[in-house]
Amino acid sequence: MSKGSAISQFDEIFSIDLRQFFTMLFGVMEIRRARCAPHFSGRDSRMSPRRQPAPLPSPDTYQARLVAQAASQSLHSHGVGALPILNRLLDRLKLESVLEEMLPREDRRVRVPAATGLMLLLKNYLLSREPLYGVSEWGLRQAPDLLGLSLAQLDGFNDDRMGRCLDRLFAADCATVALRVATEAIREFDVSLDELHNDSTTVTFHGAYSEAKEEQSRRGGQVPAITWGHNKDHRPDLKQVLFLLTVSGDGAVPIQFRVESGNTTDDQTHQATWDVLCQLSGQRDFLYVADSKLATRENMAYIHQRGGRFVSVLPRTRAEDGIFREALRREEVTWRPLWNKTDEDGNVVDRFSHCAQPQTTSEGYRLLWFHSTLKAEVDALTRTVRLERAYQQLHSLKMKLSSPKTRYRSESQVREAVDKILTDCEMTRLIDVRIVAREQEKFRQSGRGRPNAKTRYVRDVTTRFELSVEVDPARLARERLCDGVFPLVSNDSDLSDLELLWAYKKQPALEKRFSQFKTDFSVAPVHLHSPTRIVAFLCVYFFALLVESLLERELRRTMEAAQVESLPLYPEGRPCRYPTARRVLDLFDNVQRHTLTIGDQPSAELVTELSPLQRRILKLLRLAPPAYGRRSVDD
Among residues 525, 520, 617, 610, the alpha carbon closest in space to that of 568 is found at 617
d(CA 539, CA 191): 20
Longest Cα separation, the chain: 122
Q: What is the pLDDT of residue 438?
A: 86
Evaluate whether 223 touches 532 at the Cβ level (below 8 Å): yes
**Region label for 443, one of left (φ > 0), alpha (ψ between -120 and 50) or beta (otherwise):** beta
d(CA 548, CA 85): 11
> What is the mean predicted confidence (pLDDT) over 375-399?
95
Q: What is the pLDDT of residue 60?
A: 53
Q: Indicate whether 435 belongs to any domain.
A: yes
Q: Indicate whether 27 belongs to any domain.
A: yes
Among residues 520, 540, 530, 529, the alpha carbon closest in space to that of 243 is found at 540
Would you place residue 526 in the very low, low, confident or very high pLDDT band (cuts 50, 70, 90)? low
| Residue scoring higher pLDDT (338 or 356) | 338
Q: Indicate whether 630 belongs to any domain.
A: no
| Residue scoring higher pLDDT (154 or 74) | 74
User: 573-594: string of b/e by CB count within 10 Å (b at 16+)?
Assistant: eeeeeebbbbbbbebbeebbbe
Rounded alpha-carbon distances, angstroms, from residue 410 to 255, 399, 406: 58, 16, 11
d(CA 503, CA 496): 11
DSSP string, 221-253: EEE---B----TTS-TTSEEEEEEEEEETTT--
Q: Where are the beta strands (DSSP E) in 90-211?
A: 195-205
pLDDT in tens, 573-622: 999 999 999 999 999 999 999 999 998 888 899 999 999 999 999 999 99
Q: What is the pLDDT of residue 456?
A: 82
Backbone φ, ψ for residue 506 (5° rounding): -80, -5
Would you place residue 95 in the very low, low, confident or very high pLDDT band (cuts 50, 70, 90)? very high
Is residue 205 classed exposed, middle or buried when 0-12, 13-18 and 19+ CB atoms within 10 A define those classes? Answer: buried
Domain that residue 408 falls in? 379-446+454-480
Q: Indicate whether 158 belongs to any domain.
A: no
DSSP string, 89-124: HHHHHTHHHHHHHHSPP--TT-SS-HHHHHHHHHHH
Q: Which residue type does 540 have?
A: V
pLDDT in tens, 396-453: 999 999 888 888 989 999 999 999 999 999 999 899 999 998 887 777 788 888 888 8
Q: Indicate whether 474 belongs to any domain.
A: yes
Neighbour tally for 142: CB within 10 Å: 24
Q: Indicate whether 618 belongs to any domain.
A: no
d(CA 537, CA 531): 10
Evaluate whether 537 touches 240 at the Cβ level (below 8 Å): no
Evaluate whether 332 touches 352 at the Cβ level (below 8 Å): no
460 alpha-carbon distance from chain centroid: 60
Specify which residues 469 forms β-bridges with. Answer: 433
Backbone φ, ψ for residue 69 (5° rounding): -130, 145
pLDDT in tens, 489-509: 999 999 999 999 999 999 888
d(CA 398, CA 391): 10
Evaluate whether 90 touches 119 at the Cβ level (below 8 Å): yes
What contacts 24+ positions apart, CB below 8 Å, involve 437-445?
A: 437/411, 437/463, 437/464, 437/465, 438/463, 438/464, 438/465, 438/466, 439/463, 439/464, 440/464
Residue 331 is given by DSSP the state: T
Question: 227 pLDDT exceeds 70?
Answer: yes
Domain count, the chain: 2
Question: 49 pLDDT exceeds 50?
Answer: no
Share of the chain above pLDDT 70, in %: 88
Question: 71 pLDDT exceeds 70?
Answer: yes
Q: Where are the beta strands (DSSP E) in 446-569?
A: 457-471, 485-490
Evaluate whether 621 touches 558 at the Cβ level (below 8 Å): yes
Would you place residue 41 in the very low, low, confident or very high pLDDT band (cuts 50, 70, 90)? very low
The helix (H) or strand (E) run that includes residue 398 is helix 373-402
Would you place residue 160 in the very low, low, confident or very high pLDDT band (cuts 50, 70, 90)? confident
| Residue scoring higher pLDDT (469 or 345) | 469
Evaluate whether 114 touches 164 at the Cβ level (below 8 Å): yes
Q: What is the pLDDT of residue 6?
A: 44
Q: What is the pLDDT of residue 523?
A: 58
| Residue scoring higher pLDDT (628 or 28) | 628
Among residues 463, 394, 466, the alpha carbon closest in space to that of 436 is found at 466
Cβ within 8 Å of residue 485, ≥6 positions away: 324, 325, 328, 369, 370, 371, 375
d(CA 308, CA 68): 64
The helix (H) or strand (E) run that includes residue 144 is helix 144-147
d(CA 457, CA 453): 11
Question: 522 pLDDT exceeds 50?
Answer: yes
pLDDT in tens, 229-273: 988 888 888 889 999 999 999 999 999 999 999 999 999 999 999
Backbone φ, ψ for residue 364 (5° rounding): 95, 10
pLDDT in tens, 294-306: 999 999 999 999 9
Question: 559 pLDDT exceeds 80?
Answer: yes
Mean pLDDT of the chain: 86
> What is the mean predicted confidence (pLDDT) over 554-583?
94
